[in-house]
Amino acid sequence: MAEATHDIQINRLYKIFGPNGAAHVADVEAGMTKEELKAKHNHVLGLDDITLTIPAGKIQVVMGLSGSGKSTLIRHINRLIEPTSGEVIFEDRDIVKMSQTELRQFRREKTAMVFQKFALFPHRTVLENTTYGLNIRGVGEKEAGERARRWISRVGLDGFEESYPNQLSGGMQQRVGLARALTNDAEILLMDEAFSALDPLIRTDMQSVLLDLQAELRKTIIFITHDLDEALRLGDRIAILRDGRIIQQGTGEQIVLRPADDYISSFVRDVNRGHVISVRTIMRKGERAETPVTLTATTLLEEAARAMTNAETNRANVVSRDGTHLGMITLQKCVTEMIAPDDSEAVDPEVQVA
C-alpha cells in the first residue's frame, strides 16, 4: 500500500487564461487585479501567486466559491492544466517541467483523481471502470480484476461489479469513482468537489467512507469543496481561495477562531462551532479542577459539554494524549464559545498546543 511520504510543494504558481498569458505575469506580480487584467488585456487571472505546502498523508482542503480558481488549482497538481509560471514539486521533481512521457508516468503511478460529475466510462462496467488505471499501466487482466474487486468491496459495492454506471444512483456512482481512484494505489488522491453533486445524507455518508479509508491509508489527499462544513469535517488543513489567491490557510479551528477577513467571517458565521473547536483552545492552562471528568485536548466542545452534563458536573480536566495534565475547562465557558464568538478572548490554538 502506497503510504504518502512526500509533501507537495507549490511555489509561486500563476495561471493566466488567454492566448498570451505568460506576457502578463509581470503585470500581475506588480499588482494588477483580476478585473484590470480582464479589462486591459482580455486575459483571465486563474491563479495568482499560489504558494502552498500540502503535507504528506494529510487531507488538504481547498475551499472557495465557484470561480475562485479551486478546480484550476487541483488540475495543476497532475497538470491537466498547464501553468503560466511557477513550480509544483513532488519527490524533488518539478511536475511543471516534466516531458509528456514523464507526466503520463507520474499520473499513472503517483496520482488518482475523483471528479465532481463522476466522469465514469459509461460503456464500461463497474469492474472495468475500476480496473481502468491498471489497464492503462499494463497490469495483467487477472491481477487488475483481483485488486479492483477488493476496492469495489471496500467502498460497499459488492454485487455490482457487472453493472453499468447508468444503472447506479449518484452516490453509488461516486463510490465507483472512489474505487477507481483507490485501485490505482497512488500516493496522491485528487478529489475535485467529489461529493458536491450528492444529496446531503449521502454526502455525509461518503465523507465517513473517506475518513475511514484515510485513517488506514494515509494518502495525501487534496479535496476541493465549496462547503465549509465539509471542509471542516475532512480537512487536516484548509486553504481558502478567492479570485485565484489564497486568502487564508490553516487548520479548521484556526480559520473558525480567527477569520482573516470579512469574507471568511461571513462564511464562518453559521458554522457549528461545537463541532470544530477543541477544548485545548479554551482551557485555563495549568489549572486543575476537582471533577470526575477528564478529557483529551482534542475533544470537541460539543462532546465536552455532553460529557460534563452527563456526569452532572460543570468542570473537566484536560490532558494530553499521553495523559499529562494540561489544564481545565468549565461548562459555562464551553457553552459560551459554542454559541457566541468572543474575539477578545480567542487564543491562537497554534500557541496553545505548545
Partner 1 sequence: MDLIEFPSLGRGDLRDMRIAIDGAFRDFTRAYGETLEAMFHPIQVLLVFIEDLLIGSPWILVLAAIAGLVWALSRSWQIVLGTIISLCLIGFFGMWEDTMRTIAMVAVCTMIAVVIGIPAGILMARSDRANQLITPILDMMQTMPSFVYLIPVVMIFGLGKVPGVIAVVIYAVPPVIRLTNLGIRHVPADVLEAAEAFGSNPRQKLKDVQLPLALPTIMAGVNQTIMMSLAMVVVASMIGVRGLGQPVLQAINNQYFTLGVMNGLAIVAIAIIFDRATQAYGKRLQKHLEAVHG
In the complex, which residues of this chain contact partner 1 (CB under 8 A)?
Answer: 78, 80, 104-109, 111-113, 115, 117, 119-123, 132-133, 135-137, 164-169, 184, 190
Q: How far is the CB of 117 from partner 1 (least distance, A)?
A: 5
CA angle 180, 186, 190 (to 5 degrees): 70
* Closer residue to partner 1 in complex, CB, 104/269: 104
CB of 69 to partner 1, least distance (A): 17
**Location of C-alpha cell 488518482:** 112
Rounded to a whole number of angstroms, the minimum distance from the CB of residue 74 to partner 1 is: 10
192 in Cβ contact with 71 (< 8 Å): yes
Rounded Cα distance between 43 and 39, Å, is 8
First to last CA, the chain: 33
Q: Are 285 and 349 in contact (CB under 8 A)?
A: no
> Closest approach of Cβ 104 to partner 1, in Å?
5
Would you say 78 or 251 has its CB closer to partner 1? 78
How far are the Cα atoms of 8, 24, 26, 48, 277 from residue 41, in angstroms, in the given order?
Answer: 32, 8, 13, 16, 45
Cα angle value 219/230/63 (rounded, 5°): 80
Distance in Å, CB of 46 to partner 1, minimum: 16
The least distance separating partner 1 from the CB of residue 169, rounded to whole angstroms, comes to 5
Classify 154 as helix, strand or coil. Answer: helix
